[in-house]
Amino acid sequence: MTIENPQELLKLGVKHQKMFESTTVNLHAYKLHNKIFYLTQFKNKFTAKLKATGLICTQEADKQEYMQAFKQLIYYSVTYNNIRDGIEERAKLNVQVFEEIKSYLRGLLDSNLLVNDDEVAIYKRQLEVMEKSLALQEEMVEIWNEINIMDKEIVERGYFTDEELEKQIGYIPISGWIQYAQMKIQYDYKEDFDLIYENSINPNFKKYENFTKPDTLKNMTSNIAGPQLKKSMDRMTDGIDMSHMTREEYISYWLKTYKDRLEERFLVEWDKIRFPRFK
């Protein structure tokens, strides 16, 4: 088993390149039976649209080995992109607004300005919502940090393992749950902000405001935030009502769904792989 020179690998891929295409070789390789396999992609030079894929292995391998390696590499490539497009973006989300609202609510609760027990309960509930949302965000950041550590190890080693791929696939539904849970708890109690915003006109409340954006509380009211949250949740769940599901049920459902979609993608790509071709 040897880790090949990137330039030599590229030369092997370019041999199969067609007119108006660019060639890339993914150096996140896969090891099978002590052989290293590399996924090659051919894209339109002008649109960057993927035209075809190929598989490089400088050692002798049979059809079943190529097929198994190609499957794992497609799974990894798709998941790698999904992680960068989804988890990375969500982990780097600016949650300053949640911190500002949390500070505002805590300040009012500590001030004893709220004398109505029902209103006190609403402010406490929203404080818990903000704290829960921030705790979930910390979990998302931890996942992103774990992914970066794993990615560094893969780059240094030159290939990924089945265990690492399985773990990366598992991050997809877990991160999905975190995002869904953040939105759902905010959606369930969105009407709380109708009262909180209405009360904010009280001059005695103003000194507790320290918002970067003056419309922060208004934008959290049910008429504004509600439709946005509902649209986002529907997009995440393909419009399926999952409000009755536990964390474990949600993750289990989407893990199976995601793996089914990966399998479909693999079969499509294997059917049109440019090289090697088998009878």
pLDDT the model gives residue 279:
59
Q: For 149-199, write each residue's pLDDT tens digit.
A: 999 999 999 999 999 999 999 999 999 999 999 999 999 999 999 999 999
Residue 2 confidence class, pLDDT cut points 50, 70, 90: low
DSSP 3-state of 244 = coil
Domain map of the chain by residue range? 84-270
DSSP 3-state of 56 = strand
CA distance 160 to 39: 12
DSSP letter at 114 equals -
Q: Rounded mean pLDDT of 72-81?
A: 96
pTM, whole model, 2 decimals? 0.91
Q: Rounded mean pLDDT of 126-131?
A: 98
CA distance 205 to 136: 29
8 A C-beta contact, residue 101 and residue 220: yes
Q: For 255-278, write each residue's pLDDT tens digit.
A: 999 999 999 999 999 988 999 977
